[in-house]
Amino acid sequence: MDKLIPDPPEDPTTPLEEALRIEDLARNREAIKRALDFYLCPSLSKPRKPSTMFMVTPNIDTESLLAHACESLASASTLASNFANQLSGEQRHSVLAIQQIIMLAELAVNRALDRVDPQT
């Protein structure tokens, strides 16, 4: 009677092939460990020093930051609106969508500004 599933082939590896396979596995484990250590446990030897070219003063109050952000968003909204008036078709729709996103951000900043300094 024939078997439906044949016997597995005998393992033809030699001791040298087995040693090379174990050595490759060890190298792979070392590489994996180095990669995980690099991404999960970064060295804290040098703290990152931010660029001072465009730096916001660290001790500025939140209200001033929100007020400047609100003014910047209002300016960007006006620029997008003026630019959209010069376009037509799909390009106009795209610029108006950008303006709407800017206006939504402006509304969020205004709400945050109201919470920082309620006008009651």
Dihedral sign for Cα 15, 20, 21, 25, please.
positive
Answer yes or no: is pLDDT of 48 > 80. Answer: no
pLDDT digits (tens, 9 = 90+) for 70-111: 999 999 999 999 999 999 999 999 999 999 999 999 999 999
pLDDT band at 19 (very low <50, low <70, confident <90, very high): confident
| Placement of tokens 């092939």 in the chain | 17
Answer yes or no: is pLDDT of 120 > 60. Answer: no
Q: Closest Cα to residue 98, out of 114, 82, 115? A: 82
Q: Please, are residues 81 and 45 in contact by the beta-carbon 8 Å criterion?
A: no
Quick one: pLDDT at residue 118? 66
pLDDT band at 39 (very low <50, low <70, confident <90, very high): confident
